[in-house]
Amino acid sequence: MNAATDLATAELAVASLNEAALAARVATVALAAAPRAQKDAALLAAAAAIRVRALPILAANAEDLAEADGLTQAFHDRLALTPARVEAMARGLEEIAALEDPAGRVIAEWTRPNGLVIRRVAQPIGVIGMVFESRPNVLADAGALCLKSGNAVILRGGRESLRSVGAIHAALLDGLAAAGLPAAAIQVAPNADRSFVAAMLKAAGLIDLIIPRGGRSLVERVQQDSRVPVLAHAEGLCHTYIHEAADPAMARCVLSDAKLRRTGVCGSTETLLIDAAVAPSLLPVLVADLAVRGCRFHADARSRAICPELPPATDEHFHTEWLDAVLNIAVVDGVEGAIAHIRRYGTEHTEAIITEDAAAAARFLGGIASAVGMWNASTQFCDGGEFGFGAEIGIATGRLHARGPVGLEQLCTYRYQVIGSGQVRG
């Protein structure tokens, strides 16, 4: 494309995004006014439509896959839909329908000395823009979570999943229509031009929140370029610290789960911090447990003094989110040593301490700044479902608005209702 064509494409994208965002804003009025039953009816009808449309959805996905031929196996796995995955999407919608309505909830209420009653009430955020990569089923999850929380959403998937996304979107539109809710409540980008994303990121005032969901480069690009507030799901470089007062059996069991249950999730442990007091006895056992299951290691000098067969770790290794069966290991001195390591290398996602010593646990949980601190539990519990949120749109790694799993409640903001009887400030 030449520069003039680029510019024309960008202008069309802005016009198209602005139109979509204005329609979404209008839809938020209907969504805010919709009773829970109406939103749930839309979700249940959409679930039924996904089952009815299973064959066209799979056919569209097959076309996407054919075109994506030559991409990596991991990429293929993320893009591919199966009958089981389609059924899981439908069930996901039904599960979200079964959750409480987060909007309208009175979060707090108090009365002032002058008689004013002040209520803080949850309300939808408004118009959400979501940029996601290859998994087409993100559309169903995210669309349903936004709808249930009363937000309108504009989703832009990857170029490679355009047909799959279109087919799933048709089912969601069936659901909205069946419940009498506006189609503009869940919109997808008309094409996969990058200029549409660029227009989304510039749409401050039209879009209230951008949620990027995908690999690190996507998230960083969105954070860098967005003029709209971003709720980012960035890196999860999680640590498990085994304190000197750990129950050794629990430590073995929890560490194995934290590292190896699923290695590709953001809550998986990337670094083991082991207390110098127990490292000589416990580290060889922990390493053996994991090695048997195919785990590889990068160990600091103090760990290698105990287990000389471990390969050495560099500073870079301790900064790396492996998302694989790879574990960094460092020996640390007490809770303060563990906290210092985490402050230096961590990403404020999730950290765990394994100990029978409550005071040590309290020091650890109070000393880290991470979104989630676990005591005697696997870091892999950092998950909306496990937290009882029913479903999540991601794990927030920033410090504002929401941290950790982002479920329906976190997709809301609040407003105040102040009830008086003619009070003036005078």
Positions touching a second copy (CB under 8 A) are 28-29, 32-33, 110, 112, 116, 118, 123, 125-126, 204, 208-209, 223-224, 227, 229, 247, 250, 253-254, 256-258, 261, 343, 361, 365-367, 369-378, 380-381, 383, 386-388, 398-401, 403-404, 413-426
Token pair, residue 370, equals: 């991470």
Q: How far is the CB of 86 from a second copy (least distance, A)?
A: 25
Our CB check for a second copy shows the closer of 65 and 254 to be 254
CB-neighbour burial class of residue 412 (10 A; exposed 0-12, middle 13-18, buried 19+): buried
C-alpha–C-alpha distance, residues 319 and 239, integer Å: 11
CB of 157 to a second copy, least distance (A): 24
Give me the least distance between CB of 377 and a second copy, in Å please. 3
Tell me the two tokens of residue 116: 């004013």
- Whichever of 61 and 226 has its CB closer to a second copy, that residue is 226
Contact 350, 378 (CB under 8 A): no
Nearer to a second copy, 142 or 299 (CB): 142
Please say whether the beta carbons of 132 and 23 come within 8 A: no
Cα separation of 317 and 258, whole Å? 18
Amino acid letter for position 287 = V
Closer residue to a second copy, CB minimum distance, 93 or 234: 234
What are the residues facing 269 on neighbouring strands? 238
CA atoms lying within 13 Å on the CB side of residue 221: 14
Read off the amino acid at residue 228. Answer: V
> Which of residues 47 and 361 has its CB atom nearest to a second copy in the complex?
361
Nearer to a second copy, 52 or 108 (CB): 108
CB of 402 to a second copy, least distance (A): 9
* Torsion, Cα of 118, 121, 127, 129 (10° steps): 120
Query: Helices 54-67 and 36-52 meet at what angle, rounded to 10?
Result: 70
Q: How far is the CB of 326 from a second copy (least distance, A)?
A: 19
Nearer to a second copy, 328 or 397 (CB): 397
Continuous H helices in 149-260: 162-178, 194-202, 216-225, 248-260
d(CA 22, CA 327): 48
- Cβ(140)–Cβ(170) below 8 Å: no
Please, what is the minimum distance in Å from the beta carbon of residue 253 to a second copy?
Answer: 6
Contact (Cβ atoms closer than 8 angstroms) between residue 343 and residue 296: no
Give the residue from 260, 275, 258 showing the smallest Cα distance to 350: 258
Pick 236 or 404: Cβ nearer a second copy:
404
CB of 80 to a second copy, least distance (A): 24
- Closer to a second copy by CB, 193 or 247: give it: 247
Q: Which is nearer to a second copy, 292 or 400 (CB)?
A: 400
Least separation in angstroms between residue 190's CB and a second copy is 26
Name the maximum alpha-carbon separation found in the chain: 78
Task: Select 171 or 411, whichever has its Cβ closest to a second copy.
Answer: 411
Minimum distance from CB of 81 to a second copy (Å)? 25
CB of 332 to a second copy, least distance (A): 17
The distance of closest approach from Cβ of residue 370 to a second copy in the complex, given in angstroms and rounded to an integer, is 7
CA 257 from chain centre, in angstroms, equals 20
Cβ burial, residue 335 (10 Å; 0-12/13-18/19+)? buried
Residue 64 in contact with residue 79, Cβ under 8 Å? Answer: yes
